Amino acid sequence: MNDVREELARRVLVCDGAMGTMLHAAGNSLDSPLPALNLTDPALVATIHEAYLGAGADVIQTNTFGASRLRLAIHGAAGSVREINAAGVRIARQARERAGRRAFIAGSVSPAVTARGRPSADPAARAAAIREQVEALAEAGAELIILETFGYLDELAEAAAIATSATGLPVIAQATFSQDGRALSGETPREVALALGELPLAAIGTNCTLGPLHTLTIVEQLRRSTGLPVTAQPNAGLPQRVHGRRFEYHIDGGYVSRYARRYAEAGAALVGGCCGTTPTHIRAIAEQIAALRADGGPGAGGTARGRRTGAARAAGRPRAGPADGDGRRGQAGGPDRGGLAERLARGEFAVAAEIAPPVGGVGDQAVADAGRLRAHGVDLFLVASRESPRAQLGSVNLSLHLRQRLGVEAIATVTTWDKTIMALQADLLGAHALGMRTVVCETGNPPLRGDYPNVDGIWEVDSVGLIGLLAGLNHGRDSDGLDLATKTSFHVGARFNPAAADLRQEASRVWAKLRAGAQFLISRPVYELDTFRRLRGLLSGAEVPMLLTIAPLRSAEQAEYLAHEVPGVMVPEAVLRALAAAGDEAAEAGLELAVGLAASARAVAAGVVLAGGDPAAQVRLLGAL
């Protein structure tokens, strides 16, 4: 078989998909050392390889992600590095022989430590761990090395230099990027490409963290910035926590394969999948690439990397909002109107605007946005949680900041994934002492940082447990049931999802929140009202105010991303078609659709939360209320 460098120059190769999340789906914990299954359950690993080969993969990756000394040491297996890596190559080679088809065996290599463990890692030990692993893979017969899911450019460049010099094998270096289009260490795709371009690599690319749509933007930027072949292996959207510490992905093969074809058309030379992708996804990708070859596209021969396209519109990029206009003001301000609890108790239709914590740790822009909305009569603000790896103000701190600077009621969204129950209790008591009274409880998820989705999650309690904690504080009891010196007076809210796939199960979950002590409910963003009405019907008898969240769609790309890649979001087909047909006017079309929802809100809900992060659009929505 030709060297993989020759094949990358000749045609588009199909790589396999996830190994770790496939093993997880088979019942293995993501907290366990999955590469050790090469020794304890080689038949399971082989079955996954064979399934990918049968689906049409041209490259299969060994089950050695995380099989370096520092990662294995966490599980007491540091002494088995060479044995585990050698077994990983052997299992893959034997699977190829049984399949009877041509395919490259790629040694999979992760960063030597997780993003969370990076600050305490010794750089020399980190480099030594990479060297030991790539040498073991090469000695066992790997035909190339794929460096996967590197969020920090210095580590990727270091690992690439070690792998190329220590093994003599072709090396593919793949960085992982966040939704802001930068690596975890802050570099743009262009900066990553320029830094890696000095090394004798077979290809550079991206994998993990991002789903299909946002990966396309990264591929296009890499393609414009390098003469090397480019690779793309997206996740199957965002993970959804289902039971305990188990996760599932829900994107189908058709959606992933459509983007795989677009990667190839943009100049990618290797396409495959990462977390959540399965043989079904890879089969669909292989069929798309075969069809592209048949059509005479970049997969048909010649240099795949020679084909370039202009940049697609950035997914979800907000257009300039319309002028504020006069419009009706949502509510008259005034300190005598009370907060959310008082307004809901009076039966008043409540209007709040959502503010997201700004990235960078400075709240000036949030204060300016809130001040602009306050001038239009809004004096209730919901401070959302933000799943971003970047430095940012916490929602409680920003809420207190808005209250102090503007004299408004700011409702903090408190998530449970990042703190123990004792830390949550301390923060909430401190916030109460400073005047905060209204809190929305969420379980939440940690931002993806290029590893399995539960690496950084704590989840000592979920949203139901947090509601129970607040209810206990309101009764003068701490988390252990001991008496406090005084009772708190929190107004406790919870989220619910009208677009849940199983509305009865969602209703059961909401009832659990109400029994724990939730006093009002706020929906996830909705893009139609039928599911909201159905869920409200399942909650009949619950005397609790329900607020509707409305977030204008800004582009056809954003709508497609939400519909296909974000669990628990339902964007109707009619809305997707309307935004696609609107072309450059998609932002205006999305806003008009949201205005229609706002106009109907009083008939179905006790209030609304105007989300989306664009004060001009939020002001437009006020006019419909």
Q: How confident is the model at residue 32 (pLDDT cuts 50, 70, 90)?
A: confident
Shortest CA distance to 236 belongs to which of 564, 571, 569, 568? 564
Q: How confident is the model at residue 361 (pLDDT cuts 50, 70, 90)?
A: low
Q: Please check the confidence at residue 573 and state whether its pLDDT lies above 60.
A: yes
Q: How confident is the model at residue 11 (pLDDT cuts 50, 70, 90)?
A: very high
Q: Please check the confidence at residue 46 and state whether its pLDDT lies above 50.
A: yes
Say whether 335-546 and 4-306 share the same fold. Answer: yes
Q: Please check the confidence at residue 26 and state whether its pLDDT lies above 60.
A: yes
Q: What is the pLDDT of residue 335?
A: 44
pTM for this predicted structure: 0.83
Within a 10 A sphere around the Cβ of 536, how many other Cβ atoms? 19
Q: To the nearest whole percent, how much of the chain has pLDDT over 90?
A: 75
Q: Which CATH architecture has domain 4-306?
A: Alpha-Beta Barrel (3.20)
Residue with tokens 């993806």: 448
Please tell me the class of the 335-546 domain.
Answer: alpha beta
Q: Please check the confidence at residue 316 and state whether its pLDDT lies above 70.
A: no
Q: Is the dihedral of CA 344, 346, 350, 356 positive or negative?
A: negative
* Span 164-175, average pLDDT: 97
DSSP per residue, 218-239 = HHHHHHHH-SS-EEEE--SS--
pLDDT digits (tens, 9 = 90+) for 442-498: 988 777 776 765 555 677 889 999 999 999 999 999 999 999 999 999 999 999 999
Q: Is 395 helix (H, G, I), strand (E, B) or coil?
A: helix
Q: Is 418 helix (H, G, I), strand (E, B) or coil?
A: coil
Burial class (CB in 10 A: 0-12, 13-18, 19+), 370: buried
Q: Please check the confidence at residue 163 and state whether its pLDDT lies above 60.
A: yes
Sketch the domain layout of the chain as residue ranges. Answer: 4-306, 335-546
pLDDT digits (tens, 9 = 90+) for 52-107: 999 999 999 999 999 999 999 999 998 999 999 999 999 999 999 999 999 999 99
Kindly state the DSSP code that residue 392 receives in the 8-state scheme: B
Q: What is the pLDDT of residue 320?
A: 34
Q: With beta carbons less than 8 A apart as the criterion, state whether 558 and 534 touch.
A: no
Shortest CA distance to 148 belongs to which of 196, 111, 188, 203? 111
Express the helix, strand and coil content of the chain in percent, nearest 5 each: 45, 15, 40
Question: How many C-alpha atoms does 490 have within 13 Å on its Cβ side?
Answer: 33
Q: What is the pLDDT of residue 165?
A: 97
CA distance 479 to 468: 9
CA distance 55 to 255: 17
Q: Please check the confidence at residue 30 and state whether its pLDDT lies above 90.
A: no
CA distances from 382 to 100, 145, 170, 309, 441 (A): 59, 47, 51, 41, 12
